[in-house]
Chain A
Amino acid sequence: MSLKKVSKEQPDKFEFSEENLSLAKKIVLNYPTGKKKSAVMALLYLAQKQNNNWIPLAAMKYIAKYLDISYINVYEVATFYSMYNLSPVGKYFIQICTTTPCMIRGAYKLVDVCKKNISEKENESPDKKNCSWTEVECLGACISAPMAQINEDYYEDLNVKQFESIIKDILKDIKPKPGSYRGRVNSEPEKNRQTLLENKNA
């Protein structure tokens, strides 16, 4: 993972929408008085959601002023976490987990699909395409490896063919069905329970 690039094209202004502003007020109240700077991560995420899934510099300044901390403090947090996008991403933002369990189960084949169908390089959203992709570290769904996250949904137990059809749907602006692609429910075992059968509520 290399240092995230900050977009060169930046909007001049950012402000929370009325709805998000009241949400932000609620978030700040979650922390003890005098510790409101702890809300920085939640507010950055809120700003990201409001601004087409990426955080402009204006939003960082806005949050810094909102929480009464220095610009660099917000900037540090925003560059640290891969959750925050600092340059525009596609309407469908595809994150492919390539950490060890996923990698062993063929994550790089999914990466190849993206390279072929979307863009040669990560975080590029070529003209006319409504999506962009990136490799990320563990998304915490190792049991369903390999997997990808598209916006807020997990697509699990993928193989190349299924992933290709997902991408094709996305390119047609159709949201594919999230979840396991081998018919599993959440993280339950395939074809029902195999162990601890004597335990009723296991």
Chain B
Amino acid sequence: MLKVKVNDIDIEVEEGLTVLQACEIAGAEIPRFCYHEKLSIAGNCRMCLVEIEKSKKPVASCAMPVADGMNIKTNTELVEKARKGVMEFLLANHPLDCPVCDQGGECDLQDQSMFYGIDKSRFKENKRFVPEKYMGPLIKTQMTRCIHCTRCVRFATEVAGVPEIGAIGRGEDMQITTYLEKAMESELSANVIDLCPVGALTSKPYVFEARPWELKKTETVDVMDAVGSNIRVDTYGWEVKRILPKINEDINEEWISDKTRYACDGLKYQRLDAPYIKKKNNFKKISWQDALQILKDKINVTKPEKIAGLTGDLTNMETLFACKELFHKVLKSKNLESREKNIYINLNDRKNYLFNSEIKGIEKSDLILLIGTNPRYEATMLNARIRKSFLKNNTEIFSLEDLGDLTYNYKVLSNTTEEVKKIIENNCDISSKIKNAKYPLVIFGESALTMNSSKYMFEGFKKFLNENNKITEEWNSLNILNTNASAVGSYDLDIVCKTNETLEKIDKNFFEIIFLIGQDNISISKKNEFIVYIGSHGDKGAEIADLVLPGAAFTEQNGYFTNLEGKLQMAFKASYPPGEAKEDWVIINEISKLIDGNGLFKDKNELLTAMNNHINSNKKNEFSNLFKEEYINEKILTLPIDYYHSNVIARSSKTMNECRNIRSKLKKTGTEG
């Protein structure tokens, strides 16, 4: 510990901190533009100047390490004058276009010039003009406003792992640009918008949409993937205007993926706003009462085993639980399934389907093995952590398959089950590497769990890791990377057909009524089934449905989601469902009320209590081994994910469509050349 003085307050700080961090500990605010906690130190904006005793000149506090006995002053005349001087230089070439700038109201430069700047400029010359740069469909540039803090450059190189942004030229003519003005090829690209302390990089889809003070802000969670990034949803009336990250060091730090941020315009399009019935291949609007009556008549003439239900990837746990109760208690059917494919899941213990090492645990890992997963597209934020660990610990990363660019270096093994067999039978280098590693991580993707030999691989690996003390109270190196936001929640609620029959029977057209509860990712070859779609968007599910009941999207109802680590988080209501649409659990409850007269739950509280009791009671906590020799030699292929089109909201989003088109064009022509 070092003893330093900040503005005559004695404090003790850890070694290795900077003067700026010490000042923050002491409660002295230091203005800054280029410094950012998560990025490397640049020290080029000079806004953080402070006075240090025995130093003749003011010191850039962000780049100066704290030394014992330093006497730091942040409120002297010298500091004030230095800040004013720096501010004047920064503003010399900054346009006075705040009224038409999208950053207005949440601009660091605006705020800090109010606090630390002066009201006049002595710069009489013409201001510099910099042409706009193309940076892709998400980032709008207005480079005349740029103050060259290089936060975006550092973010792209360090966090995103795509060194495509740089500063060209020098001095007054320095310009920030992507290489030859190509779109940034990263799933984290839009974070540079939040990082930009001025209005140089702003959001293209959100351009001139609203001012920050007009928006209602709701802190909630994201459902685009199973990571459960914490977000803030900004709404203006009904419309979700934008989505921003909320800091959660355990999950997404302070970044979110482009899909999380920009799929929100999908909440506006293709919405189901009233119940529809299909007549002669045309959808006709009907009332809720008629719709439910039709459904009741249909259910009354159908045998329970001929009714099936499929829950979707964005369904919250309340709805999942209500569905479960509806099927078990009211419809008396066992055919409720949450999986899209027959993924091998051992429901005896939660540890069998969670990301046990936790996302923050990735940072200390020293070896990572990827089996049938492409984390870059399946869980972008988790991939960013792997990159962080790769940069910090030089973690060795192996993948069974060549997955292309993952933003870090990894070694490719062979993508056969034989390789897995060798590892778990302790027959190759990797096995001894795993044994010697202190914090190894084995990540199973969904692709690896949908194969014939999935059970062999998963249980085999579990046995191998258990035998080598890699699954302990302290560190559990067995990880499953689920891709759907609702996956872990539905496993917690046991919404899995134990015999794996439901999906097969659907293929064989066995059922007479199929409920699709927000399920749009399964292609059903329809014959005589009566399909009921309950969901928010008119997509694949509604297209084949005979009866459409309009539900709410994740921003329009309170609902729990369990992320891939097993953290229970709530998505709060930021807006309300459009038209006659209702919250999902209410629809399920009304269906049950219609059939047995009572309804499952009186209100939401009753549902939540029942759900909690169920979750706490249904797990056997048997983490035992089910390992049997059922080895089949096959290839492990990571199924490609259509990143920008992975769920209904993203598919309805114009922004995501544009991103997808640009990415596929890049792939076609090739970026090399």
Q: B179–A75 contact, CB under 8 A?
A: yes
In the docked arrangement, what's the CA distance between A76 and B163, Å? 12
Q: B166–A80 contact, CB under 8 A?
A: no
Can you list 22 residue pairs at the A/B interface with Cβ under 8 Å? A1-B171, A1-B173, A2-B173, A3-B173, A3-B175, A61-B672, A70-B164, A71-B164, A71-B180, A72-B164, A72-B165, A72-B166, A72-B179, A73-B163, A73-B166, A75-B168, A75-B179, A75-B180, A76-B167, A79-B168, A80-B168, A80-B169
In the docked arrangement, what's the CA distance between A79 and B169, Å? 5
Q: B163–A3 contact, CB under 8 A?
A: no
In the docked arrangement, what's the CA distance between A57 and B673, Å? 10
The reply to whether the CB of A4 lies closer than 8 angstroms to some CB of chain B is: yes
Contact partners of B164 in chain A: CB under 8 A: 70-72
Q: B169–A4 contact, CB under 8 A?
A: yes
Give the interface of A toward B (CB within 8 A): 1-4, 57, 61, 69-73, 75-76, 79-80
- List the B residue with the shortest CB-CB distance to A60: B179
In the docked arrangement, what's the CA distance between A71 and B179, Å? 7
- List the B residue with the shortest CB-CB distance to A76: B166
Contact partners of A70 in chain B: CB under 8 A: 157, 163-164, 179
Q: How far is the CB of A68 from chain B (nearest CB, A)?
A: 11
- List the A residue with the shortest CB-CB distance to B168: A79
Q: How far is the CB of B127 from chain A (nearest CB, A)?
A: 15
Q: How far is the CB of A69 from chain B (nearest CB, A)?
A: 8
Contact partners of A79 in chain B: CB under 8 A: 168-170
User: Is chain A's interface secondary structure helix, strand, loop, or mixed overall?
Assistant: helix
The reply to whether the CB of B311 lies closer than 8 angstroms to some CB of chain A is: no
In the docked arrangement, what's the CA distance between A75 and B673, Å? 15
User: Is chain B's interface secondary structure helix, strand, loop, or mixed overall?
Assistant: mixed
Q: A57–B180 contact, CB under 8 A?
A: yes
Contact partners of A72 in chain B: CB under 8 A: 163-166, 178-179
Contact partners of A57 in chain B: CB under 8 A: 180
- List the B residue with the shortest CB-CB distance to A58: B673
Q: How far is the CB of B128 from chain A (nearest CB, A)?
A: 10
In the docked arrangement, what's the CA distance between A1 and B173, Å? 8
Q: B168–A76 contact, CB under 8 A?
A: yes
Q: How far is the CB of A14 from chain B (nearest CB, A)?
A: 12
Q: How far is the CB of B335 from chain A (nearest CB, A)?
A: 53
- List the B residue with the shortest CB-CB distance to A65: B672
Q: How far is the CB of B481 from chain A (nearest CB, A)?
A: 28
In the docked arrangement, what's the CA distance between A72 and B164, Å? 6
- List the A residue with the shortest CB-CB distance to B156: A72
Q: A80–B170 contact, CB under 8 A?
A: yes
In the docked arrangement, what's the CA distance between A69 and B178, Å? 15
In the docked arrangement, what's the CA distance between A79 and B171, Å? 12
Q: How far is the CB of B184 from chain A (nearest CB, A)?
A: 11
Contact partners of B170 in chain A: CB under 8 A: 79-80
Q: How far is the CB of A16 from chain B (nearest CB, A)?
A: 18
Contact partners of A69 in chain B: CB under 8 A: 163
In the docked arrangement, what's the CA distance between A202 and B175, Å? 48
In the docked arrangement, what's the CA distance between A4 and B673, Å? 22
Contact partners of B179 in chain A: CB under 8 A: 70-72, 75
In the docked arrangement, what's the CA distance between A133 and B165, Å? 32
Contact partners of A75 in chain B: CB under 8 A: 166, 168, 179-180
Q: How far is the CB of A81 from chain B (nearest CB, A)?
A: 8
Contact partners of A3 in chain B: CB under 8 A: 168-169, 173, 175
Q: How far is the CB of B9 from chain A (nearest CB, A)?
A: 42
Q: How far is the CB of B155 from chain A (nearest CB, A)?
A: 14
In the docked arrangement, what's the CA distance between A69 and B179, Å? 13
Within 8 A of A (CB), among B167-204: 167-171, 173, 175, 178-180
Contact partners of A4 in chain B: CB under 8 A: 169
Contact partners of A73 in chain B: CB under 8 A: 163, 166
Contact partners of B173 in chain A: CB under 8 A: 1-3
In the docked arrangement, what's the CA distance between A2 and B170, Å? 9
Contact partners of B168 in chain A: CB under 8 A: 3, 75-76, 79-80
- With A1-B171, A69-B163, A71-B179 given, name 18 new contacts (CB 8 A): A1-B173, A2-B173, A3-B169, A57-B180, A61-B672, A70-B157, A70-B163, A70-B164, A70-B179, A71-B180, A72-B164, A73-B166, A75-B166, A75-B168, A75-B179, A75-B180, A80-B168, A80-B170
Q: How far is the CB of A86 from chain B (nearest CB, A)?
A: 10
In the docked arrangement, what's the CA distance between A70 and B175, Å? 18
In the docked arrangement, what's the CA distance between A75 and B164, Å? 10
Contact partners of B169 in chain A: CB under 8 A: 3-4, 79-80
Q: How far is the CB of A40 from chain B (nearest CB, A)?
A: 13
In the docked arrangement, what's the CA distance between A70 and B157, Å? 10
- List the A residue with the shortest CB-CB distance to B178: A72
Within 8 A of A (CB), among B320-334: none
Q: How far is the CB of A76 from chain B (nearest CB, A)?
A: 5
Contact partners of B178 in chain A: CB under 8 A: 72
Q: How far is the CB of A152 from chain B (nearest CB, A)?
A: 24
Contact partners of B673 in chain A: CB under 8 A: 61
Ranked nearest first, the 5 interchain pairs of A and B with the lowest CB-CB distance are A72-B166, A70-B163, A79-B168, A3-B169, A72-B179
Contact partners of B167 in chain A: CB under 8 A: 76
In the docked arrangement, what's the CA distance between A76 and B673, Å? 19
Q: Which residue, A2, A69, A75, has most C-beta atoms of chain B within 10 A?
A: A75
Q: How far is the CB of B309 from chain A (nearest CB, A)?
A: 50
Q: Which residue, B171, B173, B179, has most C-beta atoms of chain A within 10 A?
A: B179
In the docked arrangement, what's the CA distance between A75 and B171, Å? 16
Contact partners of B166 in chain A: CB under 8 A: 72-73, 75-76
In the docked arrangement, what's the CA distance between A60 and B320, Å? 56
Q: How far is the CB of A89 from chain B (nearest CB, A)?
A: 19
In the docked arrangement, what's the CA distance between A2 and B173, Å? 6
In the docked arrangement, what's the CA distance between A58 and B378, Å? 35
Q: How far is the CB of A136 from chain B (nearest CB, A)?
A: 14
Contact partners of A1 in chain B: CB under 8 A: 171, 173
Binary interface profile of B, 609-645, with partner A (CB < 8 Å = 1, else 0)? 0000000000000000000000000000000000000
Binary interface profile of B, 36-56, with partner A (CB < 8 Å = 1, else 0)? 000000000000000000000
Q: How far is the CB of A157 from chain B (nearest CB, A)?
A: 30
Q: Which residue, A57, A70, A71, A72, has most C-beta atoms of chain B within 10 A?
A: A72
Contact partners of B165 in chain A: CB under 8 A: 72
Contact partners of B175 in chain A: CB under 8 A: 3
In the docked arrangement, what's the CA distance between A73 and B419, Å? 39
In the docked arrangement, what's the CA distance between A4 and B171, Å? 13
- List the B residue with the shortest CB-CB distance to A72: B166
In the docked arrangement, what's the CA distance between A130 and B163, Å? 39
Binary interface profile of B, 1-16, with partner A (CB < 8 Å = 1, else 0)? 0000000000000000
- List the A residue with the shortest CB-CB distance to B672: A61
- List the B residue with the shortest CB-CB distance to A12: B673
In the docked arrangement, what's the CA distance between A77 and B87, Å? 28
Q: Which residue, B166, B173, B672, has most C-beta atoms of chain A within 10 A?
A: B166
In the docked arrangement, what's the CA distance between A4 and B168, Å? 9
Contact partners of B157 in chain A: CB under 8 A: 70
- List the A residue with the shortest CB-CB distance to B131: A3
In the docked arrangement, what's the CA distance between A61 and B180, Å? 12
Q: How far is the CB of A122 from chain B (nearest CB, A)?
A: 15
In the docked arrangement, what's the CA distance between A130 and B465, Å? 73
In the docked arrangement, what's the CA distance between A104 and B34, Å? 39
Contact partners of A2 in chain B: CB under 8 A: 173
Within 8 A of A (CB), among B647-673: 672-673
Q: How far is the CB of B52 from chain A (nearest CB, A)?
A: 32
In the docked arrangement, what's the CA distance between A54 and B169, Å? 17
